[in-house]
Each structure stands twice: as C-alpha cells, then as structure tokens.
Amino acid sequence: MAEYVKHCPQCGRTSPESAVHCGCGFFLGLVSPVPAQGSGSIAEPVSPAMPESQAPAPEPVSGSGQNLEPVPGTGFRLIHLETGRVFPVQDGDTVGQDHPTSQAQVRLAGLAGVNFVSRHHCRFFMTNGAWFITALASALNPTTVNDLPLASGGTLRVHNGDLVRLANVSFKVQQS
C-alpha cells in the first residue's frame, strides 16, 4: 500500500498523512496528502481523474454487500480525482469513511486523506430530477461544492461536473 505524506504550505516540512499539525504549528487537517517518494521527499503531483473513457466500471461500494449500479437517467457517481475510482450513489445515500461502526451506504476506504472524512459525512438525495447534497452535523471537517463550504445541515444542488470535497478528499460529480 502506498504511503502518503503532507507538505506544509507554511514551512515546507513533510509530515505523515495522519498529522493534524506541522512541527511549525500549521494546521494540516485540510492539506491534501500526496504519495511519498523515497525517504521524506514529495512525489510529483498525481494527475487528475482518468478520462471517462478509461474510468473503471462501477463496482459495489465497500461494505455495502449490494451492487449499486446507477439507474439509467438517475445515475449519480462520485469519481475520486486522484485515483479515478468510481463510487455509485443512490437517492438518500449517506457517504462516509469506511469503519466497522459506519452505517453509511457509500463507504470510502483506501483514499489519501480519508481519515479526515467522517463516518457519516454527507447525504445525497434527488428531488424533482435534481440532485442535492447535505452536510451532516456529524461531519467534523468541511463539505464543499466547487469550493463553497456547506454549513452543518446545509443543502446545495449539485450538477454534473461539480467538484465535491469531503474534508480534503476530492470527487467529480457524474450524472447520467
């Protein structure tokens, strides 16, 4: 499994992915981890998500035990920007960190920075053919859509191509 590190934007130090603060005191909670390379150096930036033609086919979501293929015309997927992994979402699904105590329908695991995503971070739902996201009160770190932060309990409509961030884990919205 790849090791990830954080690069402090204030002093330039490298810290482990799990670090909350740099040695200089800067808060690293929202700094995106990058793959480590060698002994303490930072890897080249990871390219954004794969082109849709090369994106992997949807797969069952971790821990769900069910195949969550999108329904034609109502399909909604989150595509992880760093890896291109696809997370199908259905109406009413909660998204959160994969953990034995999580009851989220879409469980995120194996992604850089996922340890800052709450177990029940946000909920997606559809109303009158439009998709919306609600930031849940249980989320300790921010939920943003196109860099606009959602207040706890706040709801915002999401569109195809929007950038959704859960803590510091970024996804592109894809609707069919």
Structural domains of the chain ordered from first start: 1-46 (no CATH), 52-175 (2.60.200.20)
Q: Is 115 helix (H, G, I), strand (E, B) or coil?
A: helix
Q: In what order do the strands lie in the sheet with 122-127?
A: 106-108, 94-97, 122-127, 130-135, 155-158
Place of tokens 């932060």: 149
Nearest to 139 by CA among 92, 174, 104, 88: 104
CB-neighbour burial class of residue 72 (10 A; exposed 0-12, middle 13-18, buried 19+): exposed
Q: What pLDDT, on the 0 to 100 scale, is given for residue 145?
A: 95
The pTM assigned to this predicted structure is 0.60
Q: How far is residue 144's CA from residue 148's CA, in Å, rounded to a whole number?
A: 5
- The C-alpha R_g of the chain, in whole angstroms, comes to 16
Give the pLDDT of residue 45: 35
Beta strand pairing call for 106-108 and 94-97? parallel
Q: For residue 11, what pLDDT is reported?
A: 78
What was the pLDDT predicted at 55? 37
Q: Are 123 and 95 in contact (CB under 8 A)?
A: yes
C-alpha closest to that of 32 among 1, 7, 3: 7
* Number of H-type helices and E-type strands within the chain: 0, 15
Q: What is the pLDDT of residue 38?
A: 62
The per-residue pLDDT for 34 is: 81
Q: In sequence order, what E strands does 73-162 have?
A: 76-80, 86-89, 94-97, 106-108, 122-127, 130-135, 143-145, 148-150, 155-158
What digits encode the pLDDT tens for the residues 88-98? 999 999 999 99
Residues of the chain with pLDDT under 50: 39-73
Backbone phi, psi, residue 115, to 5°: -65, -10
Nearest alpha-carbon partner for 83 in 12, 33, 136, 42: 33
Residue 74 confidence (pLDDT): 52
